[in-house]
A and B are shown apart, each in its own frame.
Chain A
Amino acid sequence: MIELDLDLPLASFALCVRARLEGGVTAVMGPSGSGKTSLLEAIAGLRRGTKGRILLDGEALLDSERGLALPSEARHVGYVPQDAGLFPHLTAHANVRFGARADAKAVASAIATLELGPLLERHPASLSGGEKQRVALARALATRPRLLLLDEPLAALDLGLRERILPYLMRVRDEWKTPVLYVTHNVGEALALAGHVLLLRDGHVEATGAPFDLLSTPGMVRASLPGVENLLPGRVRAHDSEGGVTSVELPAGQTIAVPLAADCAPGMQVTIAVRAEDVIVSKGVPEGISARNIYEVRITALSRTGPDVTLRCAPSDAAGAPEWIVRVTPSAVASLGLDLGQTVFLAVKSHSVRLV
């Protein structure tokens, strides 16, 4: 268990994190610049000026009240930065063996877990991004850390490579049973790997909980897809290759047409993403327009957000159907006479919908 109660002044705000994290994988999420990397560095002992307490299984790594701050080398915490941070003058093998506590057995099993055999004699300059990440992960594992800190290990990789690295991370989680703090922007990764989510915003904890419970909270959306406010769980129903659309079932029996996604098998669980400003508001039933998806909703909240007005819309007929977040201009609000409690129709173009 990790107990955090730390303060670290940063350039634009102060990192101020109080949290208790159980074992397993905790996804650390939040918008860019919310202090995720600084949090990992503070735990690793790489940030001077960190105040407060960090307890790992009851043992203090930092307790500034008692004047205790273990140096990095005494914390037994493995850290893998975003760019892997391999030592360029050493081969992959020498990198993995680098740790002062890396005994032969731990090195061998780290190499086996991450399947590094064919890469061992190569230098980092000749490794691909995914290979570097695997070597860096093995290097950290070989020291038998009590906690593993991973900073967006998949961020620099393309989609195909991500899918190939993810199983390695799952193996680390399941075979090494090392607790992991895992920084990511990707909800899919959090769902696949993490048992908990720690949501940061401007250096503060915005929310904690199970990834799925947080899935549609604004914080999680901000953390994962900046600008995409509508993230709806759905299930692929059918493909219409002639019409160029795939039909996806939303909660409470509604459907939404999305651009043809033939690689998603019917029945597959997907997440629908729609930007708030891509939703069109109409006072009457829209007719003769190209948008394929039309929903009748009631405005439940209306607030001025910066230059725009953000509407929260609840379904007026189907109970349990998704809420929509819609962004319109103040002039649209005025000319349509939009107000609380009003029933309106939302229209969403198929091409405004993304499957994530």
Chain B
Amino acid sequence: MGSWCWEGASLLSRDELEIVGFSLATAAGATLLILPPGVLAALALARYQGPGKGFLETLLALPLVLPPTAVGLLLLEALGRRTPLGGWLASHGIVVVFTWKAVVLAMAVMSFPLLVRSARTAFEEVDPRLVGLARTLGCGPMAAFRRVTLPLAWRGLLAGVVLAFSRALGEFGATVMIAGNIPGKTQTLSLAIFHNNQLGRDDRALVLAGVTTVLAFAALWSAEWFTRRRTRRAAA
């Protein structure tokens, strides 16, 4: 750990280290924030077979294909003081726009579909009859989820969490719309890369891009690893 800090200190300035820390913290916060609703949505999509399923799926996948700036703009409008939500937040003294909260929100919205997609596949692989059997053995719905669905789906779920985290780490468009690019306040790694490039400091931008690459590689590689383990288990 100590040697990493020493090398890091020589490679990155104090401000840049803070940016890395801020990015990791907001991305982790966003991932944690979307975990409960993401798992619920994935469960619902995996089990629900009624009408409107296709519409719901498409709606949930929308942030994957929309320009992130468009999503950011919609969020900005939704949080404005004239909307009921914005008004309510303002009356409680909660400021989201152009703060770290906006960074987390932008990341959360943009990574939500990725988490739901992976988690849904993981839940769909769990035989619903096993869940029914757990019920006949005396488990309520929550206990059946905890003792059967979750243990059988956790690898896929974890892969989804890692993917969502990676996506959050790379978020740019929506963040810049609702959080701005305020150094020391809302600036994340991807914003700082853009910022440095705009100021002609390409060497710093490159260093930060390298850091992002290493982080993203580590996250994706571990997601791959979990998925591979899961497939092997299923094949056994």
- Comparing A28-36, A97-105, A166-174, A180-188, the segment that makes contact with chain B is A97-105
How far, in angstroms, from A98 to B131 measured CA to CA in the complex? 12
Q: Enumerate chain A residues within 8 angstroms of B101, measured Cβ to Cβ.
A: none
A125 at the binding interface (Cβ < 8 Å): yes
Interface window among B76-84, B114-122, B134-142 = B134-142
Does B152 count as interface, using CB distance less than 8 angstroms?
A: yes
Contact call B152/A88, Cβ cutoff below 8 A: yes
Interface residues of B in 139-159 (CB under 8 A from A): 139-140, 143, 147-148, 151-152
Secondary structure of the B contact surface, majority rule: helix
Is residue A179 within 8 Å, beta carbon to beta carbon, of the partner chain? no
With both chains docked as a complex, state the minimum distance between the C-beta of A100 and any C-beta of chain B, in angstroms.
3
Q: Does the CB pair B148–A73 fall under 8 Å? A: no
Chain A positions within 8 Å of B, measured between CB atoms, are 41, 44-46, 71-73, 75-79, 81, 85, 87-89, 98-102, 125, 139-140, 143
Q: Are B136 and A72 in contact (CB under 8 A)?
A: yes
CB pair A73 B135 closer than 8 Å: yes
Q: Are A98 and B136 in contact (CB under 8 A)?
A: no
Decide if B130 touches A85 in the complex (CB within 8 Å). yes
B152: chain A residues within 8 A (beta carbon): 87-89
Find out whether the CB atom of B236 lies under 8 angstroms from the CB atom of A125. Answer: yes
B133 engages A73 (CB within 8 Å): no
A90 to chain B minimum Cβ distance, whole angstroms, is 8
How near does chain B come to A91, taking the closest CB pair, in angstroms?
13
Write the chain B residue with the least CB distance to A72: B135
Known: A81-B129, A85-B130, A87-B148. A71 touches B138 (CB 8 A): no
State A72–B130 Cα separation when bound (angstroms).
13
Q: Are A100 and B143 in contact, CB atoms less than 8 angstroms apart?
A: yes
Main secondary structure of the interface of A (DSSP, over half): loop
Q: Which residues of A contact B133 (CB under 8 A)?
A: 79, 81, 85, 87
How far does the Cβ of B155 sit from chain A's closest Cβ, in whole Å? Answer: 11
- Identify 11 new A-B residue pairs, CB closer than 8 A, beyond the known A76-B138, A77-B136: A45-B135, A46-B132, A71-B140, A73-B135, A73-B137, A73-B140, A85-B133, A89-B152, A100-B137, A100-B138, A125-B236
Report chain A residues within 8 Å CB of B137.
73, 78, 98-100, 102, 139-140, 143
Decide: B151 and A73 in contact? CB cutoff 8 A. Answer: no
List chain B residues, Cβ under 8 A from A75.
Answer: 136
Q: Are A87 and B130 in contact (CB under 8 A)?
A: yes
Find chain B residues with CB under 8 A from A88 CB. 152
In angstroms, Cα B138 to Cα A92, docked, is 18
Binding site for A on B (CB under 8 A): 127, 129-130, 132-140, 143, 147-148, 151-152, 236
- Residues of A contacting B129 in the complex (Cβ-Cβ under 8 angstroms): 46, 81, 85
Instruction: State whether A78 touches B143 (Cβ < 8 A).
Output: no
A75 and B137 CA atoms in complex are apart in Å by 9
Q: Return A110 CB to nearest CB of chain B, in Å.
A: 12
- Residues of B near A76 (CB, < 8 A) are 138
- Which of B136, B138, B147 has its CB near the most chain A CB atoms (within 10 A)? B136
> For the complex, what is the distance from the CA of A75 to the CA of B138, rounded to whole Å?
8
Q: By the criterion CB–CB under 8 Å, are A46 and B136 in contact?
A: yes
Question: Considering the complex of A and B, which 9 residue pairs feature the smallest CB-CB distances, nearest first?
Answer: A100-B138, A72-B135, A99-B137, A46-B132, A79-B136, A72-B136, A89-B151, A85-B133, A101-B138
Cβ distance B141 to chain A, nearest Cβ, rounded Å: 8
Distance (whole angstroms) from the CB of B150 to the closest CB of chain A: 10
A45 to B138, CA, bound (A): 12
- In the complex formed, the residue of A with least CB distance to B147 is A98
Bound-state CA distance A247–B64 (Å) is: 76
Residues of B within 8 A of A73 (CB): 135-140
Query: Chain A contacts of B143 at CB under 8 A?
Result: 100
Chain B: which residue is nearest A142 at the CB level? Answer: B137
Q: Are B139 and A100 in contact (CB under 8 A)?
A: yes
- In the complex the two chains form, what is the Cα distance from A326 to B64 in whole Å? 67
Per the bound structure, the CA–CA distance linking A78 and B127 in Å amounts to 19
Q: Is A44 touching B136 in the complex (CB atoms < 8 A)? A: yes
Q: How far is the CA of A5 from the CA of B130 in the complex (A)?
A: 27
Distance of A114 Cα from B151 Cα, bound (Å):
27
A61 → B minimal CB distance (Å): 12
Q: Separation in Å of the A127 CB from the closest CB of chain B?
A: 13
Name A71's contact: one of B127, B135, B147, B236 (CB within 8 Å).
B135
The answer for the CA separation of A298 and B75 in the assembled complex, in Å, is 88
Q: How far is the CA of A37 from the CA of B236 in the complex (A)?
A: 28
With A81-B129, A85-B129, A88-B152 as contacts: A46 and B135 at CB distance below 8 Å = yes
